[in-house]
Structure 1
Amino acid sequence: MTDARADSAVAGEGPAAGHWAQWLDWAQEQGSAVPEDAAFQHARAQVWAASEFAALTAARSPETLARLIAEDALSRAPEAGELDRLLAKELEHLFPDAPDEPGLARCLRRFRRRQMLRIVWRDLAGWASLDETLESLSALADTCIQRALELLTAWTEAELGVPEDAEGRRQRLLVLGMGKLGARELNMSSDIDLIFAFPHTGETRGGPRQLTNEQFFTRLGQRLVQALDQVTVDGFVFRVDTRLRPFGSAGPLAMSFDAMEGYYHAQAREWERYAMTKARVVAGPPGPAAALMAMLRPFVYRRYLDFGAIESLRSLKVMIARELKRKGMEHNIKLGPGGIREIEFIGQSFQLIRGGREPELRIPAIQPVLTRLGEKDLLTAADVAALTSAYRFLRLTENRLQAWQDRQTHVLPEKPEARQRLAQSMGFDDWPAFAAVLDDQRERVQRCFEAIFAEPGGGEHPLAALWSRKPDSDEMERLLTEHGFREPAAAAAAIADFREAATRRGLSTRAAEHLDCVVPALLAAVAESDVPDLALPRVLRVLESVLGRTAYLALLAEHQDVLRQLVVLSAKSPWFAERTAKQPLLLDELLDPRRLYEPLRRADLEQELDVLLATVGEDDLEQRMERLRQFVQGNKLRTAAADITGVIPLMVVSDYLTEIAEVATERSLAIAFCDLTRRHGLPPGTALTQPGLLVLGYGKLGGIELGYNSDLDLVFLYDEALTEASTEPTAADQRVVSGSQFYVRLAQRLIHIMTTPTYSGVLYEIDTRLRPDGDKGMIARTLASFANYQREEAWTWEHQALVRARPVAGDARLGERFQQIRAEILQLPRDPAEVRNRVRDMRAKMRASLDKSREGRFDLKQGRGGIADIEFIVQYSVLRWAAEHPELTVWTDNVRLLETLDRLALLPGLAAQELTDAYKALRTAYHRNALQDSPGLVSDSELVAEREAVAGLWQQLMD
């Protein structure tokens, strides 16, 4: 004992040396071994110097430290993932001494004392990482709550009866951990914030008198709080705060799920959303726990990008800062400038803004949130590193402050000896060295915080006066003329009309404040446009569409670069402005210019759709349909943005639009198949990847030539081997149907999913008239009957349509069979003159009924020398020569078919190249018209050379 006693006088240990000497005396009397190694002695001295709580605990309960030493619990780190189980097992050993509530209180406090000494020792000795310490403290709280609730539930049911719902099902209390407990980031001497809930209302059964479930669970909750919070001769377990519950201290202690849902969706305050980002069920049955979290999720995470959260957080931070200043608490490392709360605010702001659309951000712990924000480029790598480093330093400082006396504090000490002690516990020689690092960490946090939460806007643009001062009409027109408007009177009238529309809406105070920020910035951006007279009414139309939606006004106020993108693109395309006005959700796409001007290809589209649908239940068909529409509209918008600005060429535009449609069709089929199999079971031998149905794309979809407003020409085929076999049910409530019934219903279900209007409109308009027998034919038919029809009954125009047909979704095995049948049909020997006559006659009928050309205007598609003429020449050529040249059946798009015809020298001279050039020019004009929201008509003075070339080749080849 001599060496250990001598080491107790280590410099800096101070009065705690006496406590160590006292423990050594006890150990000697009891014959308890004391480690003699230098590492233990050095660690013990560090702990005693930094924690009066540890020294006093060892002196007053010497057996606690002796047992920890004997079991090697101080030097051994708990295994990853095993901490909760080990703590629960250890606490269980104490519970034979807990026959009643006083016994429970005693066991919990002794357990807590032992675990706190272990955690404090490992932390101060430097044997545990910050993450281990936070996890250990959180696991300790979880274990105490769970075991106490288990016993108290049994005792309360024995005394008062069993709580049941209206159907007689037993009800259980759920404990929602908030704040640092919910995030498993509990500090050394933290309160625990708890909310109590139960699934259903009802009454107790079997008790001395009937109680409502609310009465029962209120009493149970009170007993749980007392078991944890009450100070006894053994101390306390955790200080419990229940004021975060609905209605605060004035509200019931325990509420049913329905009552909670009503409160959070109708009466909750904005700060309660932030609190719920860290919510976690810490005790209670897993099924109801999952239901509770699912019920709370829409309150916390909105479907749209919620930029109103930034302003709310900013206001809350200002309020806290004002309160701290009033109380003289600027040295608070949690709430003060650059403190822990600011780091949490940064993470929470992104969670609340984006968590509804990006479920991977819905995690309570702040460090993983910061990591995800870096991975998504929402924070720079430097900011993530700075915030993470500061968070860890501040949390360690917080733990060292609280480890001294097991007292909750976040305020830096003022006394020199306390400052020196804190500095040394943090690994610094003195206070100035520690304070310099602390100040640097807090300054970095504050710089990042101020950048994110800075008030939007800069210097006022001269046109801001048009909104803020309401000048008379002469001054308005003068200002507008000075800033490039050619029709100032019309622009002034548009602004006045918009102001009147905003007044009629009766905006909330917050919405009006956002609008006063947005309109001046919008006017400034419009003034910088090349065509301000066109841009202004279009963008005001978009802004009018979101007047009643504070979240979108907040987005535009916080991100004025979104306004600038909106002005640029709307000036170039009324289609863009109109689509955005109809679906303001598309404003989200303008947030990231890198993403906006880089449309996604097939694999990335599939991944994005996976993420969008991941958080929607399989039984929530309406929401899955809505997410599909958001996916298609958002990606069409990106394609249009890249097209409008010339980032991608015409042929690639069609590729992008076609791939968007293919992915949406494939996923719609998967949803329809899952929905139908839940009702009827699976057809034999099928699966999600091999559903037995094939979806064919005809026309522009089949030809990989979709435009922005194209509908989808679809034909549905299924495997004839499944016609007679019935579905195989997997549940008692499923109704068996024949294979043919199943596939007709599957096609109908797919059409329903794609064409039924939701909040965001329809996915695509679907045209199924190209199926065998047209409108009179079955909506879906077997592949074998399709082949027979094509061989024996189909008209020439149906074979023309087959040139542009290809599989776009469904069973790959059927797709291979279809390709063989298509090649066979197209390669049938045909009389050239007969084919030419029939194709020419069909084109004449089509032109007579569809050509909208008139004096001074030319129909790009149906006019003489237009797109349809080229398509018919190509289709005739395939039918004419495919029997001799099977390679003509490989492609479905006009450009590659013309390349093949050219390579095979089947067209005279430069005809193939001339047709290709004309086709691209006409298609470019058609796309541009679509983006201008105008019909496919151009001045008859445009594209004259191309039209004449096509008309001449038509006469040469077809007449």
Structure 2
Amino acid sequence: MTVPGRRSSTFIQLLRSGFTDPSAAARLLDSAALSAVRTDPVLLDALGATADPDLALRGLVRLAEAQPEDERPAFLATLVSAKPLRDRLLGVLGASEALADHLARHPSDWRALLTYETSADLHPGLAEFERGLAPAEDPVALRVAYRRCLLSIAARDVCGTIDVAETAAELADLATATLRAALRIASAAAPEDAAACRLAVIAMGKCGGNELNYVSDVDVIFVGDAAHGTDEGKALQAATRLASHLMRICSETTVEGSIWPVDANLRPEGRNGPLVRTLSSHMAYYQRWAKTWEFQALLKARAVAGDPELGAQYVEAITPLVWQAAERENFVADVQKMRRRVVDNIPAAQVDRELKLGPGGLRDVEFAVQLLQLVHGRSDASLHSGTTLDALHALAAGGYVGRTDAAQLGDAYRFLRAMEHRIQLYRLRRTHLVPEDEADLRRLGRSMGLRTEPVAELTKAWKRHASVVRRLHEKLFYRPLLDAVAQLAPGEIRLSPRAAGQRLEALGYADPAAALRHLEALASGVTRKAAIQRTLLPVLLGWFADSADPDAGLLNFRKVSDALGKTPWYLRLLRDEGAAAENLARVLSAGRLAPDLLLRAPEAVALLGDPEGLQPRSHEALEQEVLAAVGRADSAEAGVSAARGVRRRELFRTTAADIIASYGTEDRPATEDHGALVDRVGDAVSDLTAATVAGALRAAVSAQWGDTLPTRFAIIGMGRFGGHELGYGSDADVLFVHEPREGVDEQEAAKAAQAVIAEMRRLLQLPTADPPLLIDADLRPEGRSGPLVRTLSSYAAYYKRWSLVWESQALLRAEPVAGDEDLGRRFIELVDPLRYPMEGLGEDAVREIRRLKARMESERLPRGADPALHTKLGRGGLSDVEWTVQLIQMRHAWAEPGLRTTRTRRALSAARAAGLLPTEEAQILDEAWVLATRVRNAVMLVRGRAGDTFPSDSRELAAVSRYLGYGPGKAGEMLDDYRRTTRRARAVVEDLFYGA
């Protein structure tokens, strides 16, 4: 704005005080109404402290002008001299145009702000509001009295005398007093109706929850009954007339405006249902017809007006129904769906400004809190508050919500509610949209105490709090544990010792007494840890029971909990993060291997709560971590110990992912593609083994030679290791190759290579509770009789002169896994012509391979083993499929590049694609190989030690059956399916391998 001439000191002072239109402000200060105080600096400072100094000054001038001339001086003198009054009155005038209008119409109402000076008067209760409304005998007078009371609440609010929760509670008290006054007026207008019936008014929503806004529909439900000697039908008609009149008194617009709409649409059948029902009619509806959302709404039901006895009976009757609602089918999903529907119905142009209903808004907090209340409140009466912040505090105190999460959610809720209050207070209009106008945003920001850059600071704080709300809403509202808890019967949530024992026995726990001792150790006491365990355990017990060994699952959970008992994140992870609790339950009850690994590295529990935590890591990442750990170690032993630590954690990651994918969850069905699962396990274990071997090699070399060994050294993976098909209990078949560095004597180089191998073996065989990692070099030239390590030229000479057909077959799986990359590559170039011979195999070589296979079947199958159930050497097992595939490779890989792979399934697929065997036969072989591999992995997972046959122990056999996807009691069906699958595979092998 342009000001003629030199800027006056007043003009500059007004700008500094926060006025946006100093010229208009100067004119108002010069008005006759303020002539007595226009030069008083106290007034200017007080105006500058308001949310909108321009608005406050305009309101003050109007109020002063409205004072009788003989009273104006006293009014202004009091204003200037009494700081509490000045702050309250100007604070209201600077925040609310609507209340300024009210004061201009009722200029003596400013005196309402003089009546509370003692601390006892700062928080008036329901009785004081009732006294304030008592003189009102008609709707117009009630509106005036209501605004007068509202003025006092707003004054305390904008001055910070009361916080946002206390403001909301006082607004609810004022609404309660107003409903009572309206019913009193309606009854006075129709005394015959009042005498004929009993009528109770039940507050719902924010009024029922003692957390009302400045402007909001007041949701109610009416309950009627006959007075003594009155027919019920006539009594309900009379009650309906009274209720309708009450609604009109509050809702209709008069010369003094309206108070707020009274909304009775939460009643049974909504708008289509009768306005007033008897208590028995209400109960009949709720017990038979009510939907999930209606019980959620009843959580806030509170009797506020009318017949107190009838109101109390209603609340007492519906309360059990509220806390049984979570037992309804699809309860959690229904509540979640309802929240999504609310968001979907927001107009696109408003969704980013919607403070109440939008993502990150108040409804996100309220729905999350209510859902948690309804699920857990069935067994915990401390959660039965209808007030959001009180309920949130109780949820945190009970361990159902993390304290940090609850604090952040509470802070955000208070901030958003304060924004909502100040937006509505301006014009006393029902709105939840953040304004777009700069001036409105400036006033709003200043009213929230943001004075430096009000608009920017407000926007930043609002977005930050909304982001917190949305994040925590997603975390709490869609918590998988909720649905599981909701599905428990009421008696299963908080178990007495006797009830717990009965339930444990019914769930299949073999030793209920021992299980009870574990429960007592985990959940007894008053600590927060025990409270969270009491929330988790009823659900975990069911998940453990879904396994073949519930007792082991519970015992392992106690061990892990004891190991991590003082770790603050552990129970929080299980309660809050994704499917962590269910994943842990599956892993701990699936056998010995995974729990043993976890108990040696309990911090690995964190992997179960990370969506990416169960994804296998790449070979490069594993090797880099292992080598770095070895490099930091003070000794070779410490280096290999560090490498073992990585292996332990990564083995747990792999076993956990395997178990969870095999068992599946309600949200994630078991993996259908078992072949992909087997490949993932094979890759993960093989990569981890390669990284561990590389670490042991680095430790062995560094201990004696530092960074450089006198000879180049490479390790070649063979068998399942080279084929990326290692199982949990597989040995690592290898060949060692070296090549002296320039200027190094060959004997010295050979001696160094031998020493490295000896040191590697020593380091890898140091005592440990981890699954063993055995290096087997028996596939080397001359087998156990030959040297452990050869030079590349020695290998070349041997293979050229002495190589047998079985050695060429073994080299089909050769792949470098550690050491000198160039030497490993040249070794592969050396052996390629042997394993992929030009023009394929001659008939003599084919006969020799068949003879060796037959001899192996007759000599190496353990005595007493059932040939139909031995996964490696039995009929249609791993050996049958692998030898068949390898024979195809040796005969045809020279002409079919796709067959030049170390992996069995990949070679089988390539053979099918090349037309070397029919698709059906390829599928039969693949299915048998995958199944046999899964059985071997299952045996190791269940027993904690490797095995090629099905367990004889019935519980272990049942656990293998569950891993393979069979339900309880289906172990026999599993064995029949295995026999059938491998029998079909053997028929294909007879045809393809033996040429039968």
TM-score per shorter chain, which class?
A: 0.3 to 0.5
TM-score where L is the length of structure 1: 0.46
When normalised by structure 2's length, the TM-score is: 0.44
Instruction: Select the structure of larger CA radius of gyration.
Output: 2
